[in-house]
């Protein structure tokens, strides 16, 4: 109930502004010393179902490129570059997962995993991705909601 | 009998130590009776122990295509290049055949490229040699890089060195260029912020979605790819990998890719020339 009201507010604001009201910009995300992010990036609860779509979509999260995930056994081809994500919410808190999703480099120094909520500092990005983060703030929250369903 | 049992035992114990990664073979590649090495001790400057041809990482079906020149789809393009070899062009109205006894004349050359060309004071890859003859000796247009006619001619000339052990010089006049190539190999680029090394050094042997990551060696180039049903040049492949990580590729034939080609070629020192290979 509360969520749907918030959504309605955001939707009406969005018609007037390019940046979603209440959204934390990539440069303003507050990481703690261990790379965790306590505060929601949008204030809107994540949608786990959409998060699952973002997770498997090759143009969005493409998480399956590197991570196997038994919950998506019906999807062909799971990568082995990163750890299997089964039960991942038993290992990491929501804040830690939000941090890993936003900029994994703060949690895992030098990792190959891309930072999904960073929009500058890239070297030679393709023009169409310049100044853009891979995922939007809400997509990060949605994937987070999905990851929280992965417990054993 | 005894040998068979022993081999099986060794294989089984080795398998125990292998990681969980996907099957990866290091069988010798035999083409028409010629054995071509596909693995070798890594050159000293690398932190890995062994260098492996991309051939090892492909499926049995894809590998099979490379073991028989009648099955290898790249050979159609080699035949086209043979026609080109005899075609007179340019203001001199000369063909390659007018000055060179035959493509066999270039046996061994591919294994040393790219290399420093003293006369021109520049690093030359196969494409540069071909275009130099065309523009300076035939008075013809240069062939477009990473396009069918050039890739076919590079395939024809590479084939003359098939099986030869790659031995690219990295010192002397090319030392600075090699260093530049090395730097490019380890520099993270693009929106996905990855370096060649993240995939081809840290993760070879792992699946990245449907792709079995190899060491990104170029001993097999030009490579016929089943994906696009044509020959693919070294620089064309570099470009593709950069696009995939959402990075603006360097220019094909430009300074950066040529430096990268030298560095990547040297990472394969010890492997054999396989071009034209078959990849997916």
Please write the tens of the pLDDT for every residue from A54-63.
999 999 999 9
Question: For residue A7, what pLDDT is reported?
Answer: 44
Before B276, cis peptide (omega within 30)?
yes
Of A77, A112, A122, the CB nearest to B190: A122
Which run of H or E residues covers position B230? strand B230-232
Would you call B182 exposed, middle or buried from its count of C-beta atoms within 10 A (0-12, 13-18, 19+)? buried
At the topology level, CATH places domain A24-147 in: Cytochrome Bc1 Complex; Chain D, domain 2 (1.10.760)
Judged by CB atoms closer than 8 Å, whether chains meet at B246 and A125 is answered as yes
Q: And the tokens for B114?
A: 């790219």
Interface test with A, best of B59, B195, B209 (most A CBs within 10 A): B209
**CB-based contact B105:B156 (threshold 8 Å):** no
Of A65, A125, A132, the CB nearest to B190: A125
* Rounded Cα distance, A115 and A81, in Å: 16
Nearest residue to A27 (alpha-carbon basis) of A143, A137, A114: A137
Q: And the tokens for B104?
A: 């066999």
Below-50 pLDDT ranges, chain A: 1-19
Nearest residue to B155 (alpha-carbon basis) of B273, B64, B70, B266: B273
Separation in Å, CA B133 to CA B6, B14, B20, B115, B140:
55, 51, 50, 16, 9
Closest residue of chain A to B244, computed from CA coordinates: A126
Q: How many contacts does A have with B, using Cβ atoms within 8 A?
A: 71
**CB-based contact A55:A63 (threshold 8 Å):** yes
Closest residue of chain A to B19, computed from CA coordinates: A80
* Rounded Cα distance, B118 and B267, in Å: 23
Q: And the tokens for B168?
A: 């690219």
pLDDT along chain B (280 residues), means of 10: 32 33 65 93 96 96 94 97 98 98 98 98 98 98 98 98 98 98 98 98 96 98 97 98 98 98 98 95
Question: For residue B27, what pLDDT is reported?
Answer: 72
DSSP structural state of residue B27: P
* Rounded Cα distance, B255 and B180, in Å: 10
Question: For residue B25, what pLDDT is reported?
Answer: 57
* Rounded Cα distance, A98 and A40, in Å: 8
State whether residue B59 sits within 8 Å of chain A by CB: no
**CB-based contact B275:B223 (threshold 8 Å):** yes
CA distance A61 to chain B (A): 11
Identify all chain A residues contacting B199, using CB atoms and an 8 Å cutoff: 112
DSSP structural state of residue B34: E
Question: For residue B24, what pLDDT is reported?
Answer: 57
DSSP structural state of residue A28: G
Q: And the tokens for A24?
A: 């934390």
Closest residue of chain B to A116, computed from CA coordinates: B192
Nearest residue to B242 (alpha-carbon basis) of B178, B180, B191: B191
Judged by CB atoms closer than 8 Å, whether chains meet at A80 and B243 is answered as no
Instruction: Find the Cα–Cα–Cα–Cα dihedral A38, A42, A47, A48, rounded to 10°.
Output: -30
DSSP structural state of residue B108: T
pLDDT tens-digit series, residues B169-207: 999 999 999 999 999 999 999 999 999 999 999 999 999
Identify all chain B residues contacting A81, using CB atoms and an 8 Å cutoff: 203, 206-208, 213
B133 part of the active site: no
Q: And the tokens for B251?
A: 């220019």
CA distance A150 to chain B (A): 20
Separation in Å, CA B242 to CA A8, A63, A80, B187:
41, 19, 21, 12
This model of the complex carries an ipTM of 0.86
A 10 A CB-CB count for B84 gives: 18
Query: DSSP letter string over B200-242?
Result: HTTSTTSEETTEE------TT-SEEETTTTEEE-HHHHHHHHH
Beta pairing class for B223-225 and B277-279: parallel
A 10 A CB-CB count for B64 gives: 13
Could you tell me the pTM of the whole model? 0.91
* Rounded Cα distance, B131 and B117, in Å: 14
Of A76, A81, A126, the CB nearest to B190: A126
**Torsion sign across C-alpha atoms B76, B241, A82, B15:** positive
Q: Helix B148-159 vs helix B75-85: angle between axes, to the nearest 10 degrees? A: 100
Judged by CB atoms closer than 8 Å, whether chains meet at A132 and B247 is answered as no
* Rounded Cα distance, A136 and A23, in Å: 10
Of A79, A114, A132, the CB nearest to B209: A79
Q: What domains sit in chain B, N to C, each tagged with a CATH number? A: 2-72+165-279 (1.10.760.10), 77-159 (1.10.760.10)
Interface test with B, best of A76, A116, A125 (most B CBs within 10 A): A125
**CB-based contact B206:B20 (threshold 8 Å):** no
């Amino acid at each position: 109930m509360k969520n749907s009201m918030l959504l309605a507010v955001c939707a009406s604001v969005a018609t007037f502004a390019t940046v979603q009201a209440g959204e934390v910009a990539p440069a303003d995300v507050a990481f703690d010393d261990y790379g965790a992010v306590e505060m929601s990036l949008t204030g809107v609860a994540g949608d786990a179902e959409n998060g699952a779509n973002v997770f498997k979509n090759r143009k969005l999260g493409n998480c399956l490129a590197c991570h196997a995930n038994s919950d998506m056994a019906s999807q062909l081809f799971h990568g082995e570059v990163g750890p299997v994500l089964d039960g991942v919410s038993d290992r990491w808190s929501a804040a830690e997962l939000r941090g890993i999703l936003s900029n994994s480099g703060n949690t895992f120094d030098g990792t190959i995993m891309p930072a999904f909520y960073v929009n500058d500092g890239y070297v030679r990005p393709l023009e169409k991705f310049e100044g853009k983060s891979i995922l939007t703030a809400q997509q990060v929250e949605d994937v987070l909601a999905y990851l929280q369903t992965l417990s054993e | 009998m005894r040998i068979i049992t022993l081999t099986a035992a060794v294989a089984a114990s080795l398998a125990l130590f292998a990681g969980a990664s996907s099957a990866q073979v290091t069988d010798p590649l035999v083409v028409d009776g010629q054995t071509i090495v596909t693995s070798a001790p890594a050159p000293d400057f690398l932190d890995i122990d062994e260098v492996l041809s991309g051939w090892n990482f492909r499926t049995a079906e894809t590998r099979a295509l490379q073991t028989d020149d009648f099955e290898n789809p790249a050979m159609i393009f080699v035949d086209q290049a043979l026609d080109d070899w005899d075609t007179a062009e340019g203001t001199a109205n000369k063909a390659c055949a007018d000055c060179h006894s035959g493509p066999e004349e270039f046996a061994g050359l591919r294994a040393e490229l790219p290399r420093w060309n003293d006369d021109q004071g520049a690093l030359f890859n196969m494409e540069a040699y071909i275009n130099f003859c065309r523009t300076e000796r035939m008075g013809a247009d240069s062939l477009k890089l990473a396009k069918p006619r050039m890739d076919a001619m590079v395939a024809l000339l590479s084939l003359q060195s098939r099986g030869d052990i790659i031995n690219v010089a990295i010192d002397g006049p090319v030392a600075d260029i090699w260093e530049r190539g090395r730097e490019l190999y380890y520099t993270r680029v693009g929106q996905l912020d990855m370096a060649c090394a993240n995939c081809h050094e840290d993760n070879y042997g792992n699946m990245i979605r449907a792709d079995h990551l190899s060491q990104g060696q170029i001993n097999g180039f030009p490579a016929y790819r089943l994906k696009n049903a044509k020959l693919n040049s070294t620089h064309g492949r570099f470009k593709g990998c950069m696009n995939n990580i959402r990075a603006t590729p360097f220019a094909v034939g430009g300074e950066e890719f040529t430096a990268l080609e030298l560095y990547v070629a040297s990472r394969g020192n010890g492997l054999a020339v396989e071009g034209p290979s078959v990849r997916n």
